[in-house]
Amino acid sequence: MIRTTACTTVQPIQRIHIQTSRLTVKIVNNFIHTMQKCSPRPRAFLWTKNTCLCHFYDGRGLFSDTPAMRRPIACHAIRPATPRISPESRCDIAHSHRLMAILHLVRQNILRNKKTLLVSSIGLIIGIASLVFFIALGNGVKRVVLEEMFAIRQIEVVPRTYDFGFTKFSILKLDERAIDKLSRLPEVDDIYPKMKWTFPAWATGGKEVLGKNFRAEVIADGIAPHLADDLAHPERFRDWDSEISCKGTGIGTEAGCPPAQRCIGNYCQKLSCNPDATQLECPAPTYCTRDTHTCDMPIPIIVNPSLLNVYNSGLTTALSSGTGVRLPKLTAEALTGFIFDVELGNSYLGEAAQNDPIQRKMQCVGLSAKAIPVGFTMPLSYVQRFNAYFSGDKQSRTYHSIVLEAHSNSAVARISERVRALGFELDDTHAQADRIGLMITVLTLLFSLISLLIVSISAINIAQTFFMMIAERRQELGIFRALGATRTHIAQMILLEGSFVGLTGALCGILLAYISILIADAGIRQHLPDMMIQGASFFDLSPQLILAAIVCGIGFCLLGCARPAWRAAHIDPVKACRGE
């Protein structure tokens, strides 16, 4: 329903005809709470059912414009009585009421334009969702690749070699003196040597998990047990032949000893056995070794997940028999606990430099990214003893690489420079990790720029929407200005509306990104069940990223609303009320 009212002032006498709707009347009526109570001159306002809203600037009175009554209305109710509170406190209260009134107007404006604002913010929602998705993906992939697959904080140092085509040699060796030099480097928290065994060996077995026995050459190395910190049961990866202290006189766990070991003189001692006996003399999982005639625990080993992935993806077909029987695919659970026989010092390639071959049993205790890609890894002390036995003491004192654990990721570059200054080199995997990390960063930056471009286009669309809304609300804004609203009040109202649109769009975009992350994670786990990193998410949705997305959504909306807010604040109230 549209009605025509008129407003008359005293000096100068002027009549302004205003066409208003009931919605505009309601909004303007709520805006009365923004009157400036702390101004030097109180301003008079009146709104009734039968009179128009008049604003009288000289404080002398209000004039009704109804046909039945054209006389001044006293303004005594407007002039404040003796204040009971200080002027400063009254101003604070007035400002608080004014802010609440503006927020109420913002809410009403958003509700009556919700469809228009929703359509204009679709681009913002998609842009924020893509921005969060790609940044979370980049951070997650970088974390998985650099920290779990390559362990970027762990720098592997190798001797510097010189290649003359027909031979290679190195001047500096990785021995105890090299360990002492590297351990003194600043920002190095710990140091772990690694050693490969220097003798031939082969392994036999596999019927329990593969259906038939195999024999194959063995490649192995040794690391400090502390490095295998990603095992489900790291306490199983230890040297069972080392000196173990105990208390009491019992056997096994009763005295704090491994199975088949007795506590004698506060140290665990292996039980004796006869390998030719028809009856088993060693309790499981121990076995009787032929060369020492003692009950020994199987040597614990770990396998790299990539080796299991290679077996499941290609070797199952290559190693299957010609009768059509395929080898089963293995899982980490099936491989853990598997025991097989190994002959050390003898293989297809020849025999060891010294001493006769010996037989041992080995047991897989889990999968770890710290193991070598091809072969298996055992505790370092086993490799040192075997190298000394088959290759001499010199081989048992020379390491093939040394792992330095940096204090933080930012310290890796500085430690690498100091390592090269000492005459050593870094393993190829470290350079490969740097290249992969740079590639991931570049791709993440590229997709983030595309997402920001989408958000920028959405901000332009939101700006056009606010221009149209301001054009439709021109008369309403003019009435607000006639009622005493300052340009700052109008600009604040428009910017608050834009902030609400940005906040809502950012939250919806984050929710959409979270749903997309869940779907993508489920797809990765479904289609890559035997991948290298099992159970790890390739997305990193951090609280900092969520906060940055919210700030980005609100910031771009404020940029888009800046020009419409300026135009709304500079509307001429007289022309707007006249509809000009």
Residue 167: predicted pLDDT: 58
Contact 516, 129 (CB under 8 A): yes
Contact 367, 304 (CB under 8 A): yes
Output the DSSP codes for 282-314. S-TT-EE-TTT-BEEPPEEEEE-HHHHHHIIII
Burial class of residue 41 in the structure, from the number of CB atoms within 10 Å of its CB (0-12 exposed, 13-18 middle, 19+ buried): exposed
Between helix 22-31 and helix 87-112 the angle, nearest 10°, is: 160
Q: Which residues of 304-322 are buried (b: 16+ CB within 10 A; e: fewer)?
A: bbbbbbebbeeebeeeeee
Rounded CA separation 139/542 (Å) = 9
Contact 214, 347 (CB under 8 A): no
Rounded CA separation 570/576 (Å) = 11
Question: H-type helices in 363-427, by residue range?
Answer: 380-391, 393-396, 412-421
- For tokens 């350079």, the residue is 431
Burial class of residue 130 in the structure, from the number of CB atoms within 10 Å of its CB (0-12 exposed, 13-18 middle, 19+ buried): buried
Contact 394, 176 (CB under 8 A): no
Per-residue pLDDT of the chain in tens (580 residues, 90 and over written 9): 333 333 433 333 334 444 444 445 455 555 544 443 433 333 333 333 333 343 333 333 333 333 333 333 333 333 334 444 444 444 444 455 566 767 777 788 888 888 888 888 888 899 999 999 999 988 888 777 766 666 667 788 888 877 665 556 667 788 888 888 888 888 888 888 889 988 999 999 888 887 778 888 888 999 988 888 888 888 899 999 888 888 777 777 777 788 888 888 788 888 888 888 766 778 888 899 988 889 999 999 999 888 887 777 767 766 665 545 577 888 888 888 899 999 999 888 888 888 899 999 999 999 987 888 888 999 999 999 999 999 888 888 888 888 888 887 778 778 888 888 888 888 777 677 777 777 888 888 898 898 889 888 888 888 888 888 888 888 888 877 777 777 888 888 888 888 899 999 999 999 999 999 999 888 877 766 544 455 567 888 888 999 999 999 999 999 988 888 888 888 877 777 766 6
Contact 5, 52 (CB under 8 A): yes
Burial class of residue 163 in the structure, from the number of CB atoms within 10 Å of its CB (0-12 exposed, 13-18 middle, 19+ buried): exposed
* Angle ∠(30,491,567) on CA atoms, nearest 5: 115
Taking the alpha carbons of 551, 552, 554, 558 in that order, is the dihedral positive or negative? positive
Residue 506: predicted pLDDT: 92
Using DSSP, state whether 556 is helix, strand or coil: helix
Bridge-based pairing of strands 201-205 and 188-196 is unpaired
Output the DSSP codes for 149-199. IS-TTEEEEEE-EEE-SS-EEESS-BSHHHHHHHHTSTTEEEEEEEEE--S
Rounded CA separation 239/385 (Å) = 11
The size of the chain, in residues, is: 580
Nearest alpha-carbon partner for 98 in 574, 558, 483: 483
Using DSSP, state whether 350 is helix, strand or coil: strand
Rounded CA separation 148/140 (Å) = 11
Give residue limits of the domains in the chain: 1-87, 113-153+428-580, 154-233+297-407, 242-296
